[in-house]
């Protein structure tokens, strides 16, 4: 579905960004990108999304849809003067709006009765649900998520993680998630990429070979977390 070949994006200081990154992602796969601050995770996502085209190398997307990429940011970025329905439809061509059943998307993200609400009336989790629906309405081949739940409380974060699993199961959406949360990556992802260095390089790929949905307290995931902490050169705090 997505193939990256020897991609490099660096800036004037020669340190920020990433270099010589290659990987491929299969249709319906969820891949997480982890790494310490400054290793180029968000820069990589911007390059994949097309928002930053000043890179070297090649990126190929095998999908056949009209919208190859959908993007979800850390903040919902809703238009305050538009309703939930109108925010979800923002960016959809007027000629195609009649072909869209907006209620299907409201139901999918758990906002069935909130289509006529305005952003000021929504909780943080509801606002991010709206942003998810807005990204999905174009039926993207690949959905990119840049720390989508980091601003939310722990309980809301877990609810939205489960929502992503529901969406992935129902639509077989291919997802790439940048996160600082190792537990989130282990819960959601089929593979985890570890970036490190400045500029960042792809230092490891870890398959998470256990069925979803997963038990957050599973000993297998705990062992994988220890492996990731070691790869990130982070010592586990005891006590």
Domains of the chain: 2-27+40-173+188-231 (3.40.50.300)
pLDDT band at 36 (very low <50, low <70, confident <90, very high): confident
Q: 175: closest CA among 141, 210, 137, 214?
A: 141
Chain segment 60-86, per-residue pLDDT in tens: 987 655 678 899 999 999 999 999 999
Chain segment 182-231, per-residue pLDDT in tens: 999 999 999 999 999 989 999 999 999 999 999 999 999 999 999 999 99
Q: Which residue in this structure is represented by tokens 């990433």?
A: 18
pLDDT band at 96 (very low <50, low <70, confident <90, very high): confident
How far is the CA of 42 from the CAs of 35, 48, 52, 77, 191, in angstroms?
A: 10, 10, 11, 17, 18
| CB neighbour list of residue 72: distance below 8 Å, 6 or more residues apart | 128, 131, 132, 135, 143, 144, 145, 146, 148
Say what the pLDDT of residue 38 is.
86
Radius of gyration of the chain (CA): 18
- pTM of the shown model: 0.91
């Amino acid at each position: 579905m997505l193939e990256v070949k020897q991609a490099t994006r660096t800036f004037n200081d020669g340190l920020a960004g990433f270099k010589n990154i290659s990987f491929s992602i299969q249709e319906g796969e969820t891949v997480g990108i982890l790494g310490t601050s400054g290793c180029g995770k968000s820069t990589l996502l911007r390059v994949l999304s097309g928002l930053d085209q000043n890179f070297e190398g090649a990126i190929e997307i095998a999908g056949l849809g009209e919208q190859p990429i959908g993007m979800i940011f850390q903040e919902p970025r809703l238009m305050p003067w538009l309703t939930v329905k109108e925010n979800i439809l923002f960016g959809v061509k007027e000629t195609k709006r009649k072909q869209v059943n907006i209620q299907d998307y409201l139901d999918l993200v758990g906002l069935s009765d909130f289509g006529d609400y305005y952003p000021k009336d929504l909780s943080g989790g509801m606002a991010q649900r709206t942003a998810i629906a807005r990204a999905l309405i174009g039926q993207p081949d690949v959905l990119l998520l840049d720390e989508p739940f980091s601003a939310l409380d722990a309980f809301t974060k877990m609810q939205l993680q489960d929502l992503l699993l529901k969406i992935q199961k129902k639509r077989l959406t291919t997802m790439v998630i940048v996160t600082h949360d190792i537990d989130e990556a282990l819960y959601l992802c089929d593979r985890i990429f570890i970036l490190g260095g400045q500029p960042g390089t792809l230092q490891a790929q870890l398959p998470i070979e256990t069925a979803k949905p997963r038990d957050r307290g599973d000993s297998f995931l705990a062992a994988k977390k220890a492996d990731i902490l070691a790869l990130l050169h982070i010592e586990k705090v005891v006590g």
